[in-house]
Amino acid sequence: MTGRRFRIASPFAPNPPNGKRVTRPYVWGNPFRVGIEAADAAEAVAMFRDHLRRHPDLVQKARRELAGFDLGCYCALDQPCHADVWLEVLRVTAANAGDRPVGPHE
């Protein structure tokens, strides 16, 4: 069973039941910031996908530690977000795709 994305309204807001944060500075956060390394959210998400391709160990760790959880970020739910990439990775795992060493859309 795969989770869904939720929006974190405040750094002090509690996670919902079954929720995990995938924000910076945690290991699951997107290291590419809009307005700094990326021009917009879509570019930041694309850069994050490439990052996962270069870090298969991080993908494997996520498959173990994030599976079954809802994932939270500060991004608006109608905007691109790296949490969606994590959820795609977890859906591939849940679908018994095998132990592919990279994230979605290889």
**Average pLDDT taken over every residue of the chain:** 88
% residues pLDDT > 90 (the chain): 80
pLDDT level of residue 2 (50, 70, 90 thresholds) = low
Determine the average pLDDT of the residues in 38-52: 97
> What Rg, from alpha-carbon coordinates, does the chain have?
13
74-102 average pLDDT score: 80
Confidence of residue 1 (pLDDT cuts 50, 70, 90): low
> Residue 99: what pLDDT?
46
Distances (CA, A) of 5 to 49, 100, 103: 17, 23, 17
Contact between 83 and 15 under an 8 Å Cβ cutoff? The reply is: no
- Name the residue type at position 44: A
List the domain boundaries for the chain.
Answer: 5-94
Residue 7, both tokens: 């929006």
Widest CA span of the chain, in angstroms? 37
Contacting residues for 94 by C-beta, under 8 A, at least 6 apart: 1, 2, 67
Reply yes or no on whether the pLDDT at 86 is more than 70: yes
